[in-house]
Amino acid sequence: MSGKSCFFIGHREAAEEIYPALYAAVEQHILEYGVTEFIVGHYGGFDRLVASAVKEAKRFYPEVKLTLLLPYHPAEHPIPTPDGFDGTFYPPGMESVPHKVAIVKANRYVVDHVDYLIAYAWHPASNARELVEYARKRQQKSGIQITLLAHAAI
């Protein structure tokens, strides 16, 4: 990951209604914060909305890159690079991580290595919310900036 980067975390059942706020946050991160790389997973509604928002932004900001986070080894779970994405990323050292915690470990790895996090996490007991709390602890130590979208009063 080079340049300023941003990761997304959110609930899989995210509604289309958050798209305008999500797109506005993506554009703000490009224009105000200089983000050129966005990283997202592919396991739910929020991730699909993110991919759509970043793909739309790429039409206006060609320097922007969209990267798909792979929590499972690409040899075990091959996933071709989806349309509109610039590549995939499998965090180093994940080969020995059990499958049931692979998504959590991959997400934490990325949070440890990006400059920004955009979150849609409002469920009281969820991995998304736990990751935002994890990022908040990192924020105090090394400065990750967190943007919370609607319903994200944590």
Q: How confident is the model at residue 116 (pLDDT cuts 50, 70, 90)?
A: very high
Q: Answer whether 102's CB lies under 8 Å from 76's CB.
A: no
**CA 84 – CA 93 distance, rounded (Å):** 27
pTM: 0.90
Domain boundaries defined on the chain:
20-36+48-65, 70-110+126-148
Q: In what order do the strands lie in the sheet with 4-10?
A: 87-89, 65-69, 35-40, 4-10, 116-120, 145-148
Identify whether the C-beta of residue 94 lies closer than 8 Å to the C-beta of residue 102. Answer: yes
* pLDDT at 151 (0 to 100): 59
Average pLDDT value over all residues in the chain? 89
pLDDT tens by residue, 49-76: 999 999 999 999 999 999 999 999 988 8
Which amino acid does the sequence have at 24? A
